[in-house]
């Protein structure tokens, strides 16, 4: 158990904005995605990419669009 705590501390040091959500240690990410935005009201005519915000666990690597979609267990623990 002690090793897990030191790994978590190391991750927290590298990602000071990480937030604990259940067993996950998550950060907000934003990436450019090719194509038109999936929400028609947010698309524009010449759009070739759009920004997408998602949540990523820095311990197990799972990525979801909403914190509520995180699995009950973290694969890293």
**Domain coverage including residue 52:** 2-69
Nearest-angstrom CA–CA distance, 13 and 7: 10
Per-residue pLDDT at 51: 92
Within a domain: 77:
no
pLDDT, mean of residues 52-77:
91
Within a domain: 74:
no
Within a domain: 52:
yes
Q: Quick one: 36 exposed, middle or buried, by C-beta within 10 A (0-12, 13-18, 19+)?
A: middle
Beta bridge partners of residue 49, listed in sequence order = 34
pLDDT, mean of residues 48-53:
92
Within a domain: 45:
yes
Within a domain: 75:
no
The total number of structural domains in the chain stands at: 1
Half-sphere exposure (CA, 13 Å, Cβ side) for 17? 5
Per-residue pLDDT at 9: 62
Q: Quick one: 57 exposed, middle or buried, by C-beta within 10 A (0-12, 13-18, 19+)?
A: buried
Within a domain: 16:
yes
């Amino acid at each position: 158990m002690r090793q897990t705590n030191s790994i978590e501390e190391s991750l927290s040091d590298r990602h000071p904005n990480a937030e604990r959500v259940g067993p996950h240690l998550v950060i907000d990410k934003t990436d450019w995605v090719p194509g038109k935005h999936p929400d028609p009201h947010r698309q524009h005519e010449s759009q070739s990419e759009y920004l997408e915000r998602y949540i990523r666990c820095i311990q197990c690597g799972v990525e979801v669009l909403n914190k509520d979609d995180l699995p009950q267990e973290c694969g890293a623990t």
